[in-house]
Amino acid sequence: MSQFMLLSLEYFSQPHAAYQKLSMLPGFVLLESSDKNMGRFDILSAYPYDQIKLFADTRDKIKELNRLSEILERTSYGLELPFQGGAIGYISYDLGAELQGIKSVPQSNLHDMPLLDIGLYDWAIIVDHHLKKVTLFAANEHETTQSIIQEIIALWGNTGNSISHFVVKDDFFPLISKGNYEESFYAILNALIEGRSYQVNYTQPFHAHYEGDAWGIYCTISQKNPVPFSAFMRTPDADVLSFSPERFILYDQGELLTSPIKGTMKRSANTLEDEFLKSELLHCDKNRAENVMIVDLSRNDFGKIAKAGTVRVPRLCVVQSFNGVHHLVSDVEAVCKDSLSPLMAFLSCFPGGSITGAPKLESMRIIQEQEPYSRGIYCGSIGYFSRHGRFDTNIAIRTVTAKNGVLHLAAGGGIVIDSVCSDEYQECYTKIAAIINGLKTI
């Protein structure tokens, strides 16, 4: 058993002031449950001791992924912490597509972004919002770790109240016209009629220009729009801001959980109207059908990696409410085969079905035919892979890539045979409203 260190730090009910000082450190990552009712832990770290990146021109991607899997071979400390050293970062949708032989053209400003950007960390601060407890974990495996920990302790106790300055200079504007959206919608509808797919998740990209530090944007939006799977990453290539309500896969000592979201309804400030909208979503045949399709896809994905007879659906089409929208959410559980490493189990199911459609591979081909740009980090996954046999990852929806003064955002929805074009188009704006509204007062 490797040596490790545990230290207790002060708990802050409003933690962004503490995170602020660490946010400027190289390789800073924050996985945050800003909705503390649905989520429990925040995990943050910096100063990775190694970085693994895959690009479009990386020759043997499978070899590099196998190397990462070997690095993450299990190390047990006998602790009850969710992260005990390992990998934190993102896996883009485009990596999943390329592994299936599907390639798309990136937006010009994002052409040099890695398909995968994973930092290896031997220390982390874990904030437990249920127990109101902060633990600094460090595995004593590298010479620089001790000096890093001393710096982190000093920064944590020296918190300020000001959030980094930023200015969003214009509204988010779509990169494709409404007419082009309609053309793609009806092309997808024809593909459904031809029987190529049952459901296709079609998305459109948006841009806004900004100045300043994207960390300030992240703090402002997350405080107004708390969700259980937020994330912020500071990389040399871009800053990544995720406000995702959706878990992709939780793996805990072989037990698997995925919680696909499919079905969306806007919210109302009027309580009675909001309850009506919630009920309308719950009893909408179309939204329930979309959700059940993705649940079946998730069951099939888990069926490939699970022990026989362990796949089950404990929750089907339950309403979860967030600041801006109501969603239909389901849970699918299973027990992973012992022969599969956690990372290989993840990749076997990646990308998530809720952002592709069903069946997955053909839906991804249709997406490539109709979407003018590759998705990048959006619709990929952000999370951690701990060396003690646990990982937790989100579906990177409501996710912004901040690069070269541009905020890259995208939104979409599942198109089925009875979808209405105007409704699907409006749903894109409903989904990004929480981000846009979070910035309107600035």
Q: List, in order of start, the domains of the chain with CATH numbers.
A: 4-439 (3.60.120.10)
Confidence of residue 442 (pLDDT cuts 50, 70, 90): very low
Sequence-distant (6+) residues with CB within 8 A of 141 are 2, 85, 122
Both structure tokens of 125: 């601060």
Per-residue pLDDT reduced to its tens digit, 373-406: 999 999 999 999 999 999 999 999 999 999 999 9
Give the pLDDT confidence score for residue 177 in this predicted structure: 97
Distance CA 287, CA 198 (A): 13
- Mean per-residue pLDDT for 249-270? 96
Question: 240-279 b/e with 16+ CB inside 10 Å = b?
Answer: bbbbbbbbbbbbbebebbbbbbbbbbbbeeeeeebeebbe
Comparing CA positions, the residue from 93, 92, 49, 42 lying closest to residue 71 is 49
Per-residue pLDDT reduced to its tens digit, 85-129: 999 999 999 999 999 999 999 999 999 999 999 999 999 999 999
When mean pLDDT is compared across 76-80, 300-304, 403-407, the lowest value belongs to 76-80
Give the pLDDT confidence score for residue 159 in this predicted structure: 66
Give the pLDDT confidence score for residue 120 in this predicted structure: 97
The residues annotated as belonging to the active site are 246, 262
Per-residue pLDDT reduced to its tens digit, 148-204: 999 999 999 886 667 778 999 999 999 999 999 999 999 999 999 999 999 999 999
Q: Is the pLDDT of residue 73 over 90?
A: no
Give the pLDDT confidence score for residue 2 in this predicted structure: 57
Per-residue pLDDT reduced to its tens digit, 346-383: 999 999 999 999 999 999 999 999 999 999 999 999 99
Give the pLDDT confidence score for residue 277 in this predicted structure: 96
SS3 37: coil
Distance CA 106, CA 94 (A): 9
Q: Is the pLDDT of residue 143 over 90?
A: no
Comparing CA positions, the residue from 263, 228, 2, 32 lying closest to residue 125 is 32
Confidence of residue 435 (pLDDT cuts 50, 70, 90): confident
